[in-house]
């Protein structure tokens, strides 16, 4: 029996849930099954590689003295991060030619340049970066995620920020884009007893920054929603029912060729 066959044969127990996997289930239960329960392999895309490398570079930027947090240093940090990441197995064969990889790097630098039009990193000292959160938000509901950045305002309030290398969503989808950050805000409240006043999405492709005010009432609703999702996932596991939910997002799905929603197209 292969490792994949063994994973599929073993009963899956929901012990913890991340904001990303919760989003998968909301988007499409079948996607959640393929990605979380069966853990089917997915090819890394150039966009994912850019996002991972940019996040690492932006994280490391704040290790430098304030006066050294310049665009040129951020470019250097991106190059260093990619030099390290590109040797990992998931990134092997990502580019067919050196020229293709170089063009990807140039485009990545343009996005990083946009960062400096949104904020001055020399005027910021983050309270936390890449913060690993693992909290039981309600009885038996354990959430784990890694928060990009948390700042503290001069007034002593907390602000949560997430970097994005893609484009900002259309206005009608903006509210749903904050789903994960509201969960992170709830985790911060659980851990520290402090309620962040705002969450921000920083889209470097634009650039565009979206913000949402946070209240205790909103976080109470968020905790209740994540508990509902948790219960829905447990029922789906118990009944082995993970129906596909076709949408425009299917075009970016790694599992379209095996999804029953597209069986008639094969």
Q: Residues 149, 90: one domain? A: no
pLDDT at 7: 52
Mean pLDDT calculated for residue range 178-200: 97
Mean pLDDT calculated for residue range 151-160: 97
Domain span holding position 203: 128-224
Q: What is the pLDDT of residues 65-111, one digit of tens each?
A: 999 999 999 999 999 999 999 999 999 889 999 999 999 999 999 99
- pTM for the model stands at 0.90
Q: Residues 216, 146: one domain? A: yes
Residue 146 lies in a domain: yes
pLDDT at 266: 47
Q: Residues 111, 186: one domain? A: no
Residue 86 lies in a domain: yes
Residue 165 lies in a domain: yes
Q: What is the pLDDT of residues 231-245, one digit of tens each?
A: 999 999 999 999 999
Q: Residues 76, 92: one domain? A: yes
- Of the residues 89, 123, 157, which one is the last residue of a structural domain? 123
Q: Residues 93, 181: one domain? A: no
Better-scored residue on pLDDT, 177 or 16: 16
pLDDT at 159: 98
At residue 2 the predicted structure's pLDDT band, cuts being 50, 70 and 90, is low
From the CB of residue 49, how many other CB atoms can be counted at a distance below 10 Å? 21
Q: How many whole angstroms separate alpha carbon 180 and alpha carbon 177?
A: 7
Residue 123 has pLDDT above 60, yes or no: yes
Cis amide bond preceding 207, omega within 30:
yes
From the CB of residue 160, how many other CB atoms can be counted at a distance below 10 Å? 25
Mean pLDDT of the chain: 92
- In 3D, which of 152, 112, 160, 108 has the Cα closest to residue 133? 160
Q: Residues 217, 162: one domain? A: yes
pLDDT at 77: 98
Better-scored residue on pLDDT, 172 or 228: 228
The secondary structure of residue 17, as a DSSP letter, is: B
Among the residue ranges 10-14, 26-30, 216-220, the one predicted with the least confidence is: 10-14
Q: What is the pLDDT of residues 131-148, one digit of tens each?
A: 999 999 989 999 999 999
pLDDT at 203: 95
Q: Residues 102, 156: one domain? A: no
Mean pLDDT calculated for residue range 8-36: 90
- In 3D, which of 182, 177, 53, 59 has the Cα closest to residue 108? 53
Residue 37 lies in a domain: no
- Of the residues 101, 123, 145, which one is the last residue of a structural domain? 123
pLDDT at 223: 97
Q: Residues 136, 97: one domain? A: no
Better-scored residue on pLDDT, 166 or 223: 223
Residue 68 lies in a domain: yes
Residue 29 lies in a domain: no
Count of domains in the chain?
A: 2
Q: Residues 78, 114: one domain? A: yes
Residue 129 has pLDDT above 50, yes or no: yes
Q: Residues 136, 113: one domain? A: no
Mean pLDDT calculated for residue range 195-216: 95
pLDDT at 264: 62
Residue 28 lies in a domain: no
Q: Residues 161, 104: one domain? A: no
Q: Is 236 left (phi over 0), alpha (psi -120 to 50) or beta?
A: alpha
Better-scored residue on pLDDT, 224 or 4: 224
Q: How many whole angstroms separate alpha carbon 9 and alpha carbon 92?
A: 30
Residue with tokens 């140039």: 106
- Of the residues 123, 148, 176, which one is the last residue of a structural domain? 123
CATH of the domain at 182: 3.90.320.10
Q: Residues 93, 133: one domain? A: no
Residue 65 lies in a domain: yes
Residue 1 has pLDDT above 70, yes or no: no
């Amino acid at each position: 029996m292969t490792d994949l066959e063994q994973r599929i044969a073993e009963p899956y127990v929901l012990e913890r849930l991340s904001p990303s996997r919760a989003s998968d289930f909301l988007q499409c239960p079948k996607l959640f099954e393929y990605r979380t329960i069966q853990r089917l392999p997915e090819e890394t895309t150039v966009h994912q590689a850019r996002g991972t490398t940019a996040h690492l570079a932006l994280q490391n930027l704040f290790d430098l003295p304030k006066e050294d947090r310049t665009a040129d240093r951020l470019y250097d940090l991106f190059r260093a991060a990619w030099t390290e990441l590109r040797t990992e197995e998931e990134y092997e064969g990502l580019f067919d030619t050196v020229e293709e990889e170089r063009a990807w790097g140039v485009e990545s630098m343009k996005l990083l340049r946009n960062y400096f039009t949104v904020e001055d990193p020399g005027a910021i000292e983050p309270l936390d970066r890449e913060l690993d959160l693992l909290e039981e938000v309600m009885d038996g509901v354990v959430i784990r995620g890694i928060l990009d950045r948390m700042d503290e305002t001069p007034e002593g309030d907390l602000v949560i920020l997430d970097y994005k290398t893609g484009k900002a969503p259309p206005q009608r989808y903006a509210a749903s884009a904050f789903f994960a950050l509201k969960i992170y805000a709830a985790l911060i409240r659980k851990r520290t007893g402090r309620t962040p006043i705002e969450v921000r999405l920083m889209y470097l492709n634009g650039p565009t920054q979206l913000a949402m005010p946070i209240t205790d009432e909103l976080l109470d609703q968020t905790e209740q929603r994540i508990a509902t999702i948790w219960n829905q996932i447990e029922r789906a596991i118990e009944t082995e029912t993970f129906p596909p939910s076709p949408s425009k997002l299917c075009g970016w799905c790694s599992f379209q060729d095996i999804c029953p929603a597209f069986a008639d197209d094969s």
